[in-house]
Amino acid sequence: MKLCGSILLLTMLLIHVPNLWGQAGPVIEYRYYQVQVTGIESVRAQTSARRPQTWAGEKDSRTDWRIDYTFNSVRKYGNNCQVGTYEITSSCTITLPKYQSSDAILAVRLKSYEELLKIHELKHCEIVAEHVRKFDEWIDSIRYYNCGDIMNSVRYQYEAFLAQCAKAQRDYDQMTSYGRREGADLTLLLPLPESETKSGPGQSLDEGDEVETIQDGTLVFQEPMGNYYQDENGVWRNDGGR
């Protein structure tokens, strides 16, 4: 699906949330792409098919952010100038999946996934707020600049704070593996399809089944030798073909 098609499918909901970060808090906009899930085994494929195709990597949510500033006045003292009134604005646009499923249990699990993705993306907005606050404090600390340099000096610092913010965003995604290490991981929230589940404690393998073992870090399939079973401690054993 092309991006233009994805945009048409996005359900947009603009929410002015309570400012959690004081004056530095960004305005947050939520956008959703709809995912109709037919079964647990199709969640991954259907999510990938419906999310905006311009996104890089296997991520199901995204935050686009902006920080802007304007000068309303500059105070002049001879050849020196000082920033007068100014305004810093910031915004976050969070895009999330919105799942629909007729399976009630699956719908609950997918709702949990949506909420965990939202928590992760709101952290990106918190990073924006942190750098807005730092930029604000820097402007407040300015005493005097040569009037010919003040605009360029502020612009230089603004771009430096933008670069720092972008790096902090990347570092956070790498540290959390885009939220997976925080729990926003479909493989943790959804049980495997029945065909992919393995026998649990107290269950036995059918005679003739292959058995997986690890030898020197390599997965090896062994030919069956008798009946294998898993004891109460979860250890696989062989009855020797009795």
Residue 192 is predicted with a pLDDT of: 53
* Chosen domain end from 150, 172, 189: 189
In the chain, the number of structural domains is 2
- Residue 212 has, within 13 A of its CA and on its CB side, a CA count of 5
Same domain, 147 and 40: yes
Structural domain containing residue 219: 198-238
Q: Which residue has the higher pLDDT, 23 or 169?
A: 169
Q: Are 203 and 141 members of one domain?
A: no
Mean pLDDT (whole number) for 120-147:
91
Tell me: do 213 and 94 sit in the same domain: no
Tell me how far apart the alpha carbons of residues 222 and 18 are, in angstroms, rounded to a whole number: 60
In this structure, the answer to whether residues 213 and 158 fall within a common structural domain is no
My answer on whether 59 and 137 are in the same domain is yes
Say if residue 41 is in the same domain as residue 119.
yes
Residues 164 and 212 in one domain: no
Higher pLDDT, 39 or 227: 39
pLDDT at position 90: 96
58-87 pLDDT, tens digit each: 789 999 999 999 988 888 888 888 888 889
181 and 73 both lie in a single domain: yes
pLDDT at position 233 is 55
63 and 178 housed in the same domain: yes
Q: Judge if 161 and 207 occupy the same domain.
A: no
Assess whether 129 and 168 both reside in one domain: yes
More confident residue, 79 or 143: 79
pLDDT tens by residue, 92-112: 999 999 999 999 999 999 999
Per residue in 144-203, pLDDT tens?
888 888 888 899 999 999 999 999 999 999 999 999 999 999 888 886 555 444 444 334
Instruction: Give the residue with greater pLDDT, 88 vs 23.
Output: 88
Q: What's the pLDDT at 180?
A: 92
